[in-house]
Amino acid sequence: MKAGGDGRGRLGGARLPRGLTGPAAEAELAVARGLGAPALFAIVVSTVGASIYFALGVVAKDALGLTPLVFLIAGGFLIVTMWTYVEGNSLHPERGGASALARYAFNELWSFIAGWAILLDYLIVLSVGAFALSHYLQAFWAPAGESGIEMAITAAAIGFVAWSNIRGGISTGRLNTAARVGFVNLLLAVVLIVAGLVVAYEPGEIVDSIDLGTAPEWDDLVFAAVVATVAVTGIDAASGLAGELRVGRRKLRRFQFASTGVVLFTLVGLSVVALMAVPAVDGSTALGEEFIDAPVLGIPAAYEPVWLSDVLRYSVGAVGSLVLLQAMNVNMLGISRLSYALATHRQIPSALGRLHPTFATPYVTIGIASVAAFVLAIGDVEFLLGLFAFGAMLAFTIAHVSVIVLRFREGDRHVAFRVPLSVRVRGVSLPLPAVGGALFAFAAWVSVVVLHEGASIAGAVWMAAGLLLYVVYRKSQGKTLGGRFVISAEALTESRGVEYQSILVPVFGESIDDDIVGTAGRLAAEGWEEGEGGPMIEALYVIEVPMSLPIDARLPEEAIKTGRTALARAKQVGEEYENVEVATALVRGRAAGATIVDEARRRGVQAIVLGAERPTRMRGGVLLGGRGRARDRVVGEVTQYVVEKAPCRVILTAPPAGEQDARVGVRP
pLDDT at 19: 39
Q: Is the pLDDT of residue 478 over 80?
A: yes
Q: Is the pLDDT of residue 316 over 60?
A: yes
Q: What is the percent of the chain where pLDDT is above 70? A: 78
Q: Is the pLDDT of residue 73 over 80?
A: yes
Instruction: Indicate the pLDDT class of residue 24, thresholds 50, 70 and 90.
Output: very low
Report the length, in residues, of the chain: 668
The Cβ-side half-sphere exposure at 465, using a 13 Å CA radius, reads: 9
Instruction: Indicate the pLDDT class of residue 634, thresholds 50, 70 and 90.
Output: very low
DSSP, collapsed to helix, strand or coil, labels residue 544 as strand
Q: Is the pLDDT of residue 495 over 70?
A: no
Please choose, from the candidates 446, 453, 570, 450, the residue with its C-alpha nearest in 3D space to the C-alpha of residue 508: 570
Cβ–Cβ under 8 Å, residues 236 and 230: no
Q: Is the pLDDT of residue 438 over 90?
A: yes
pLDDT at 205: 79
Question: Picking from 347-361, 493-507, 589-603, 622-636, which range would have the lowest pLDDT averaged per residue?
Answer: 622-636
Q: Is the pLDDT of residue 14 over 50?
A: no
More confident residue, 127 or 90: 127
Average pLDDT over residues 276-295: 83
Separation between Cα atoms, residue 506 and residue 593, nearest integer Å: 10
State the DSSP code for 327. Answer: H
> What confidence tens digit (pLDDT) does each residue in 321-349 have?
999 998 888 888 888 888 888 988 889 99
Question: Picking from 129-133, 208-212, 603-607, 630-634, which range would have the lowest pLDDT averaged per residue?
Answer: 630-634
Separation between Cα atoms, residue 78 and residue 94, nearest integer Å: 21
Instruction: Indicate the pLDDT class of residue 621, thresholds 50, 70 and 90.
Output: very low
Q: Is the pLDDT of residue 604 over 60?
A: yes
pLDDT at 183: 82
More confident residue, 662 or 637: 637
Separation between Cα atoms, residue 602 and residue 606, nearest integer Å: 12
Average pLDDT over residues 245-255: 61
In whole angstroms, how far apart are CA 550 and each of 592, 666, 668?
A: 16, 11, 10
Q: Is the pLDDT of residue 20 over 80?
A: no
Q: Of the ranges 176-190, 275-289, 304-318, 570-584, which is most confident?
A: 304-318
DSSP, collapsed to helix, strand or coil, labels residue 211 as strand
pLDDT at 264: 81
Separation between Cα atoms, residue 109 and residue 317, nearest integer Å: 43
Separation between Cα atoms, residue 121 and residue 128, nearest integer Å: 10
DSSP, collapsed to helix, strand or coil, labels residue 88 as helix
Cβ–Cβ under 8 Å, residues 430 and 407: yes
Q: Is the pLDDT of residue 159 over 70?
A: yes
Instruction: Indicate the pLDDT class of residue 25, thresholds 50, 70 and 90.
Output: very low
Separation between Cα atoms, residue 100 and residue 30, nearest integer Å: 24
State the DSSP code for 267. Answer: H
pTM: 0.69
Strands 607-611 and 581-589: unpaired
pLDDT at 457: 93
Cβ–Cβ under 8 Å, residues 517 and 573: yes
State the alpha helices, DSSP H only, in 345-431.
363-376, 381-410
Q: Is the pLDDT of residue 5 over 70?
A: no
Q: With the C-alpha atoms ordered 178, 356, 354, 21, is the resulting torsion angle positive or negative? A: negative
Q: Is the pLDDT of residue 23 over 50?
A: no
Separation between Cα atoms, residue 462 and residue 459, nearest integer Å: 5
Ramachandran sector of residue 305 (left: φ over 0; alpha: ψ -120 to 50; beta: rest): beta
Q: What is the mean pLDDT of the chain?
A: 79
Separation between Cα atoms, residue 536 and residue 503, nearest integer Å: 6
Separation between Cα atoms, residue 385 and residue 54, nearest integer Å: 9
Average pLDDT over residues 48-56: 82
pLDDT at 660: 45
pLDDT at 191: 94
Taking CB atoms within 8 Å and a gap of at least 24, the contacts of 370-373 are: 370/158, 370/159, 370/161, 370/162, 372/123, 372/127, 373/123, 373/126, 373/127, 373/130, 373/158
Separation between Cα atoms, residue 161 and residue 357, nearest integer Å: 19
Q: Is the pLDDT of residue 174 over 70?
A: no
Average pLDDT over residues 122-147: 90
Instruction: Indicate the pLDDT class of residue 170, thresholds 50, 70 and 90.
Output: low
pLDDT at 4: 34
Separation between Cα atoms, residue 558 and residue 564, nearest integer Å: 10
More confident residue, 486 or 185: 185
Instruction: Indicate the pLDDT class of residue 638, thresholds 50, 70 and 90.
Output: confident
Cβ–Cβ under 8 Å, residues 484 and 111: no
Separation between Cα atoms, residue 70 and residue 268, nearest integer Å: 9
